[in-house]
Amino acid sequence: MSNHDIVYPTPGASVVGIRPRYDRVRAIIRGLAGERDVRFLPQVGIDPRPAPIPAGIMEAATQSAQKQARGGFSRASKRAFLRGQYNWAYRHLPPNPPSVVACWNGLKGHRRLVMEAARVNGHATLYLEEAPLPGRITVDLVGVNAASSLPLEPEFYLNWQSSRPDLDATAWRRIRSDLVPRQAAKRRDVHQKEGGADLANEPYVFCPLQVPGDSQITVFGDWIASVEEMIDHVASASAALPDGWHLRIKEHPSARQSLARRIAETSGGRVVIDNETNTMEQVEASRAVITINSSVGFESLFFNKPVIVLGHAFYDVKGVVQKAISRDALDEFLSRPEALTFDSGLRDAFMSYVTEVHFPFEDDVVTGNVTLDTIIERDRRRDEILLDLRSADQAARACRV
């Protein structure tokens, strides 16, 4: 879970939506509000008067901003602009009355600062984002992606599953038929064509690239700072693969510029660039998947593939996937690709939880069938399980002393 303690909304607290750009987001926030009052801040202004701000927040917001400034003067100007936006948000979200401040994503640039200002003033926060499942969205009181409130303790999911004797632990697998690869929006050289019949006969590890500059990397990349750096590491590490194996890379359909030349220059002949074949077919035919923390990495779980994550991911649960914490660890994994594995029972429990509980259907939210109160109840039940687990762990530790 995130480092932030969860602040649960007070009963009847109003909802404040931060600068929703689309009617869709307004409808989601209104649906979540239910019977609560809701208002929207259509813009975020600038206030030169300094306001209290936690250490490190300005740096994090500046580094995660959608548009990165280049040059010392530009960076200083960008930082001053963002600081003014934080000051403005701090004063436009006063502590009383306590509210629930809702924002789409909320982890980048000025939106991150607005949510921090809300937290400093004692408001509850509500983060919204696309979910990695068809027709679902993320609704979380702590954050999105790797900053979400999903526990990383494997025991949590097994404990939750044991409390649901009527659960069909394999029902989540049926969602696989609904998975559709992303179509190219900006690239004419990235396609989703049918693969050849012999693809499954080729022993390879698949590496789907993410969009350069995406917050999944700038915020949650861990030891991988960029897509370019990932390419350098995985392409060089491909030399550790056994004879006859190769690393198969596909660029993201939304990437503005091709990195094919960089891949070719780094690969040393052990890498195949396949921007033609359907992404899901390449996942299905692979022996394993490497990702920083992409949605394709998560979708690979539906295809029973071992997954290696390099960065921070909401599905980085030990046993569900494997984590390469360094280049040496990545080399070790690729030197023995046949040994890559996962805990199928734990994966069933994890996937059952995220599909049954954590990611609501967007239609249910918009129509008011899932409201903020539903989310609060969901999270309090999660907290109860975690408290029991941690209490049991403390008791076990005390007995060993």
| pLDDT-based confidence at residue 58 (cuts at 50, 70, 90) | very high
Return the sign of the alpha-carbon dihedral for residues 121, 123, 129, 131. Answer: positive
How would residue 98 be classed by pLDDT, with cut points 50, 70 and 90?
Answer: very high
Mean pLDDT of the region 328-333: 98
243-265 burial, b at 16+ Cβ within 10 Å, e below that, comes to eebbbbbbbbbbbeeebeeebee
Convert the pLDDT of each residue in 207-221 to its tens digit: 999 999 888 999 999
pLDDT at position 3 is: 41
Q: What's the whole-number average pLDDT of the chain? A: 94
Residue 2 confidence (pLDDT) above 50:
no
Taking only the tens place, the pLDDT of each residue in 302-327 is 999 999 999 999 999 999 999 999 99
In whole angstroms, what is the distance from residue 360 CA to residue 270 CA?
41
Q: Of residues 30 and 64, which shows the higher confidence score?
A: 30
What is the maximal distance between C-alpha atoms in the chain?
66
pLDDT tens sequence across 254-283: 998 999 989 888 766 799 999 999 999 999
Model confidence at 1, in pLDDT bands (50, 70, 90)? Answer: very low
- On the CB side of 259, how many CA atoms lie within 13 Å of its CA? 24
Closest CA to 271 of 245, 295, 292: 245
DSSP per-residue codes, 3-44: SSPP-PPPTT--EEEE---SHHHHHHHHHHHTTS-EEEE---
Whether residue 97 has a cis bond before it, omega within 30° of 0: yes
- The span from the CA of 133 to the CA of 150, in Å, is 15
In contact, 70 and 76? CB cutoff 8 Å: no
Q: Which CATH number is correct for 157-352, 3.90.1150.10, 2.60.40.1080, 3.40.50.2000, 3.90.79.10?
A: 3.40.50.2000
Q: What is the percentage of the chain residues whose pLDDT exceeds 90?
A: 83
Residue (of 296, 324, 71, 137) closest to 221 by Cα position = 324
The pTM of this model reads: 0.94
Q: DSSP state, 212? A: T
DSSP assignment, residue 194?
A: P
Q: pLDDT-based confidence at 67, cuts 50/70/90?
A: low
- pLDDT for the residue numbered 66: 62
Per-residue pLDDT tens over the stretch 157-187:
999 999 999 999 999 999 999 999 987 767 8
| Rounded-to-5 percentages of helix, strand, coil across the chain | 45, 15, 45
Distance, CA of 54 to CA of 29 (rounded, Å): 27
How far is C-alpha 169 from the chain's CA centre? 23
- What confidence category does residue 42 fall into, taking pLDDT thresholds of 50, 70 and 90? very high
Strands (E), 54-113: 100-104
Distance CA 93, CA 124 (A): 11
More confident call, 144 vs 263: 144
Instruction: Tell me what pLDDT residue 5 has.
Output: 74
Classified as helix, coil or strand, 63 is: helix
Report how far residue 18's alpha carbon sits from residue 40's, in angstroms, rounded to the nearest whole number.
6
Domain ranges of the chain: 15-130, 157-352
Check pLDDT > 60 for residue 360. yes
